[in-house]
Chains A and B, each alone.
Chain A
Amino acid sequence: MIRIEALTKRYDGVAVVEDLTLCVDRGELLVLLGGSGSGKTTTLKMVNRLIEPTSGCVRIAGRDTRETAGPLLRRNIGYCFQQIGLFPHMTVGENVAITPSLLGWDEGRIRRRVEKLLELVELPVGDFRDRKPSALSGGQQQRVGLARALAAEPDVMLLDEPFGALDPLIRDRLQASFRRIRSELGLTALFVTHDVVEAMILGDRIAVLEAGRLAQVGTPRELLEAPANDHVAELMRTPLRRAAVIEDLGAGPG
């Protein structure tokens, strides 16, 4: 569904992403995992052309993204990011309705779609549609963000640490909601995170990026069992290492 081919981005000659080739199958969720500066966000933004690649290309459903004007391309790609970016002067309903209205859907269809999406992200329509984003909690805001990204029934979803700024309990609940939504809709998605546990919970496959290059790509199990290098091995072991620390605390000194 998404083919990233020899994608490279340089700023003033310095490569941020170098010669990256990846593909995401239809209905698959691929996690881009890496620390800050690994090039994962840059890669994501090159898929919907918020950033233009220096070289290489991205194909979605076989079509080179450069053939479509940026704004038109992005109307068919859901985009959800950590800062959420709900428009404060619009209601929840209006925020969700943006992309469908840009696509020229008729009002009835937009209204039904908004209702369905708010239901999907577990926000009761009657309570939430006419509220302003400022009257929502962080978790509720990101649910709206998710609904907005899904509004125009996109072929592909791009998510950039969407749950990164939420507290752990809310984060768990949103991850669970997201898994359910994904399986209901059969979404194809590219998901950026630096959180190994999140990557393992949500990802069908994980691509580990290191300084702009692909270190390894595979299922969580493959990465755990056959890490390509020490860095990947170390990274995949962090959740277990932490769990061990917590278990020790549980055992206690006495």
Chain B
Amino acid sequence: MSEQLELLPGYLTAHLQLSLAALAIGASVSIPLGVWITRRPRLEPGILGAASVIQTVPSLALLAIMVPVLAALGAQTTRFGLELRGIGFAPALIALSLYSLLPILRNTVAGIRSVDPALVEAAQGVGMTDRQRLLHVELPLGAPVIVAGVRTATVWVVGTATLSTPIGATSLGNFIFSGLATRNDAAVLVGCLASAGLALLLDGVIRTLEVGVRERRRGLAVAATVVLTGLFAYAGATLALSRSGSGPVVRIGSKTFTEQYILAELLARQIEERTGAATRTVPSLGSTVAFDALVGDDIDVYVDYSGTIWATIMKRRDLPPQRDEVLRTVGGFLAEEHGVHLAAALGFENTYALAMRKDHARELSLRSISDLARVAPALEIGGDYEFFQREEWRALESRYGLSFGYERSMDPALMYGALANEEVDVISAFSTDGRIAAYDLAVLDDDLGVIPPYDAIVLVGSRTAREHPQVLSALRELDGAIDASTMRLMNQRVDGDGASPSEAALQLLSLVRDEAR
């Protein structure tokens, strides 16, 4: 818990920066736009409709779609000296700003429409221009409705900002995503409470400001303005500070499961100790987001798996060759196609495996996936979010003729519990997952050799390899340093014993060093 609280100021600040910036953009676009369409009623259905469509896009998808959009834009804009990053702050900011449009826009229109026509006539009668009528009559009278829209947007944006973690923007979602993946309920709780608290705080401050202004309670209005200005100033200053940066920082990505968090910490320590360079982890990235981020130079280093590259990046559908052959092919492909360096194969495999409760497998006398295929129609399989979309799954389905009674996508953190509780019969497990032993599961043999080998490989981006060769050589030291049982043990330390990923990484690093000596 204390470790989580240590992270809180940083995550909270990042969350505040993102939310306030998105709201500021959202409000400064939607309020003028809303006013404008009350003057041009014919445009209203079109513009409100467009904002509604944005709103109906699930927030996680809206955030995710910004990554390729910005990457494409980035390729265009670098020519003009502008730098748009594919992952991180920029895409999250744009998505959240878009998300805040509708409530503010709709309430601005409604607020101005709600003004009594007699008052509009009176405003004209006393000699106000259109602009004066807007400023002195329509906006002040519509303000409660408009501010209600801003408050709705505030609560949405602060909540949705937690989903910007998988696209590489630090937020309170870092607690939630890593907490879910490493079975750390305290982290999830801290993330949820902090984000709810922040939403309530901002909502309350804006409400107080509006009431203070409307009822001309000076003290209230001043207090709320001071708090709000303070928050904006703090967010702006810290943002400017983090942008200005301090020397080169090696950015290390990780995906959203325990092993990845541990390995990211491990790489960070190895680089810091061997090269003296500062490091920063960019945790909880979506699987393909991580690779795109490396190619797009948004992160410098991360760990992937040879089979994942083989299947999802190279899109090979043929039967994979032997482990070494896959490793060689993947290494050559990465270097040629993307300029990415395969610095080290860590020495263990973390393959996709189909796992069942041991007693259940025995009862049905299943040992291999071929056995499973016979009874699959009567069984239910659970897989992580991407599993059923992956080439490996398609290969399994077609080669073994697998067809389950029901396929259920769920969070990997919940999969093992669901299997143990007999809510599903089979899951897509990771072979190094400590929970295979902890839950006493049987892994079914891939007797046709369909699943490619999944050597854990350390990938380094082309710019980093070129400009910081010492990072590359520090990472090469880890080649073959970790075996599968050690990795499984470390995963279990986190998932089962409640150790933090960095504690596990520290222990793993000392094991690796002892081995080397």
Contact = CB atoms under 8 A, between A and B. Distances in A.
A71 B126 CA distance: 8
B141 A81 contact: no
B118 A74 contact: no
B28 to A, nearest CB: 24
B78 interface: no
Q: What's the interface size class on B, roughly?
A: 10 to 19
Contact of B124 (A50, A72, A84): A50
Query: Do most interface residues of chain B lie in helix, strand or loop, or is the interface mixed?
Result: helix
A221 B182 CA distance: 97
Interface in A45-87: 48, 50, 70-76, 79, 81, 83-87
Closest 8 CB pairs of A and B: A85-B122, A75-B127, A79-B125, A83-B118, A74-B127, A85-B118, A71-B129, A98-B126
A102 B128 contact: yes
A89 B140 contact: yes
B132 interface: yes
A88 interface: yes
B217 to A, nearest CB: 14
A48 B136 CA distance: 21
Contacts of A87: 119, 122-123, 136-137, 141
A99 interface: yes
Contacts of A40: none
A141 to B, nearest CB: 12
Contacts, number: 63
Interface string B110-132: 00000010110111111111001
A230 B93 CA distance: 75
A9 interface: no
B446 to A, nearest CB: 73
Contacts of A76: 127
Given A84-B118, A85-B118, A102-B132, A74 B125 contact: yes
B118 A71 contact: no
Interface in A135-151: 148-149
A158 B316 CA distance: 84
A81 B117 CA distance: 13
B126 A75 contact: yes
A81 B126 CA distance: 11
A177 B121 CA distance: 25
B121 A81 contact: yes
B121 A102 contact: no
Interface string B124-161: 11111100100011001100000000000000000000
A85 B124 CA distance: 11
A48 B141 contact: no
B136 to A, nearest CB: 8
A112 to B, nearest CB: 19
A81 B121 CA distance: 9
A7 B116 CA distance: 30
Interface string A14-39: 00000000000000000000000000
